[in-house]
């Protein structure tokens, strides 16, 4: 195989390599008569990516340049780390690289990347090929009942509300809305986890077709990677999926030049987790209601002035014989019986009744604690005269 890629398309190839590097550690390359396929698979075999570059993506294309068999193309596997060394900075490659040549040396079993840059600079990378096995993912994208097309910016803004520590995301789709929330493991402490949930209306999407209402859960790492790829190329994202347990297919393409498929395995939601989440939400709601009612009742209770409260704390013995209503004592947690008050009143008939509320206590003893209080200023009948000894 031998092909030439013009400068503007080198940038696209570089971004593709960087996106695939976030999926797997090995890059599979296969040349066909009308295209070149790049594939990768993650270690857990739960995420698969395939990018197809059509013949018109290249300025020169010969899929069996070093082969005598007309039907034989190139099939090889290289390390993803070696591919990244070739495309270190894809953002500025279109301004530096004029042409890229990719060819296979059958004698040394090396894949050669030759970058012809400006000012006559040529950079050549020799990448050793590894033993390659046939790899092909089995999935369908045309006969699925659920299809959604969305701009990558809208999904990126929705994901910005999630925590970086979130590993998986759950999509609950219906004909009325799409609910996106972070997946919570039932084994974790729900009180220490931030739960994020976003409700997106169908009008926010470019296309929204839901034939079967379902709930799917997939990994966030690969989802963020394919969103970054679509955002770098300013292309919309298509989502094709069936029911839970079936793979979800994300498609990014620009028409006739290239097409990328990202296939993510889906898992069933944890029913116990969702039940615990709903129960926790109800508990939190009850706590808020109880706190609000307690706060409203606290506002209705009379409060003493700061000076009066301070004096009561210092000289609390002055009020040992004062009768306090039962409801006030109950609020403070004191176990005082009503019979005790009745017995005391029966023994002391000549003593006037005690005040019935804190407001009266406050009005009776308020002036006693004022610094400017002069007992001689009291006018009226003196109930207790000073003794002769005084």
pLDDT of 195 > 90? The answer is no
Are the CB atoms for 59 and 53 separated by under 8 Å? no
Are the CB atoms for 239 and 147 separated by under 8 Å? yes
Flag whether 298 is in a domain: no
- Whether residues 211 and 312 fall in one domain: no
Helix, strand, coil percent content, the chain, rounded in steps of 5: 35, 30, 35
Flag whether 202 is in a domain: yes
Flag whether 386 is in a domain: no
- Whether residues 122 and 179 fall in one domain: no
* Mean pLDDT along residues 77-92: 88
- Whether residues 108 and 143 fall in one domain: no
Strands 146-150 and 207-210: antiparallel
Are the CB atoms for 155 and 230 separated by under 8 Å? no
pLDDT in tens, 237-249: 999 999 988 999 9
- Whether residues 264 and 355 fall in one domain: no
Flag whether 310 is in a domain: yes
- Whether residues 161 and 126 fall in one domain: no
* Mean pLDDT along residues 11-40: 92
- Whether residues 35 and 133 fall in one domain: yes
- Whether residues 312 and 246 fall in one domain: no
Are the CB atoms for 114 and 199 separated by under 8 Å? no
pLDDT in tens, 311-340: 444 444 433 444 444 444 444 444 434 434
- Whether residues 3 and 112 fall in one domain: yes
pLDDT in tens, 332-370: 444 434 434 434 444 444 555 554 545 555 555 565 566
Q: What is the pLDDT of residue 314?
A: 47
Flag whether 367 is in a domain: yes
pLDDT in tens, 197-237: 999 999 999 999 999 999 999 999 999 999 999 999 999 99
**Of the ranges 81-90, 94-103, 344-353, which one carries the lowest mean pLDDT score?**
344-353
Mean pLDDT of all residues belonging to the chain? 76
- Whether residues 311 and 264 fall in one domain: no
Flag whether 26 is in a domain: yes
Q: What is the pLDDT of residue 320?
A: 43
Q: Is the pTM value of this prediction over 0.75? A: no
- The CATH number linked to 246 is 3.70.10.10
Q: How many domains does the chain have?
A: 3
Of 276, 45, 266, 238, which is closest to residue 169 (Cα–Cα)?
Answer: 266
- Whether residues 15 and 122 fall in one domain: yes
Percent of the chain with pLDDT over 70: 64
What is residue 188's DSSP assignment?
Answer: S
Q: What is the pLDDT of residue 138?
A: 81
Structure tokens at 302: 């009379």
Flag whether 281 is in a domain: no
Look up the domain containing 341 and give its range.
306-377
Higher per-residue pLDDT: 306 or 148: 148
pLDDT of 75 > 60? The answer is yes
Residue with tokens 């307690």: 294
The SS3 call for residue 268 is coil
What is residue 267's DSSP assignment?
Answer: B
Flag whether 68 is in a domain: yes
- Whether residues 149 and 112 fall in one domain: no
Q: Give DSSP secondary structure letters for 58-116.
A: -SEEETTTT-S-TT---EEEEEHHHHHHHSS-GGGHHHHEEEEEEEEETTTTEEEEEEE
**Of the ranges 6-10, 34-38, 100-104, 320-324, which one carries the lowest mean pLDDT score?**
320-324
- Whether residues 145 and 242 fall in one domain: yes
Higher per-residue pLDDT: 217 or 298: 217
Beta-carbon contacts of residue 74 (< 8 Å; ≥ 6 apart)? 1, 29, 30, 31, 63, 64, 104
- Distance between CA atoms of 8 and 143, rounded to whole angstroms? 35
The confidence band for 373, taking pLDDT boundaries of 50, 70 and 90, is low
Q: What is the pLDDT of residue 135?
A: 73
């Amino acid at each position: 195989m031998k092909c030439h890629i013009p400068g503007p398309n080198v940038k696209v190839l570089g971004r593709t390599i960087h996106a695939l590097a976030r999926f797997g550690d090995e890059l599979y390359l296969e040349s066909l008569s009308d295209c070149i396929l790049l594939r990768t698979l993650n270690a857990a075999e739960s995420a698969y990516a395939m990018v197809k570059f059509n013949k018109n993506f290249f300025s020169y294309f010969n899929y069996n340049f070093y082969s005598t068999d007309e039907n034989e193309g190139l099939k090889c596997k290289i390390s993803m780390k070696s591919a990244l060394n070739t495309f270190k900075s894809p953002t500025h490659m279109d301004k530096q690289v004029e042409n890229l040549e990719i060819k296979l040396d059958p004698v040394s079993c090396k894949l050669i990347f030759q970058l012809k840059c400006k000012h006559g600079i040529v950079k050549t990378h020799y990448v050793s090929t590894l033993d390659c096995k046939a790899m092909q993912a089995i999935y369908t994208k045309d006969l699925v009942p659920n299809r959604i097309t969305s701009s990558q910016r809208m999904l990126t803004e929705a994901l910005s509300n999630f925590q970086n520590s979130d590993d998986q995301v759950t999509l609950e789709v219906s004909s009325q809305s799409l609910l996106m929330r972070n997946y919570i493991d039932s084994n974790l402490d729900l009180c220490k986890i931030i739960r994020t949930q976003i409700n997106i209306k169908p009008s926010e999407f470019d296309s929204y077709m839901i034939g079967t209402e379902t709930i799917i859960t997939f990994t966030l790492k690969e989802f963020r990677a394919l969103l970054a790829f679509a955002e770098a190329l300013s292309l919309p994202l298509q989502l094709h999926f069936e029911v839970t347990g079936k793979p979800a297919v994300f498609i990014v393409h620009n028409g006739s030049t290239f097409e990328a498929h990202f296939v993510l395995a889906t898992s069933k939601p944890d029913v116990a987790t969702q039940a615990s989440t709903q129960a926790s939400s109800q508990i939190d709601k009850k706590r808020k209601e109880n706190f609000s009612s307690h706060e409203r009742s606290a506002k209705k209770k009379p409060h003493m002035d700061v000076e009066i409260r301070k004096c009561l704390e210092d000289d609390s013995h002055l009020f040992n014989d004062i009768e306090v209503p039962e409801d006030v004592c109950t609020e403070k947690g004191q176990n005082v019986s009503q019979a005790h008050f009745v017995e005391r009143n029966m023994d002391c008939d000549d003593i006037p009744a005690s005040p019935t509320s804190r407001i009266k206590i406050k009005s009776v003893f308020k002036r006693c604690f004022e610094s400017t209080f002069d007992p001689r200023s009291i006018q009226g009948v003196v109930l207790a005269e000073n003794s002769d000894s005084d």
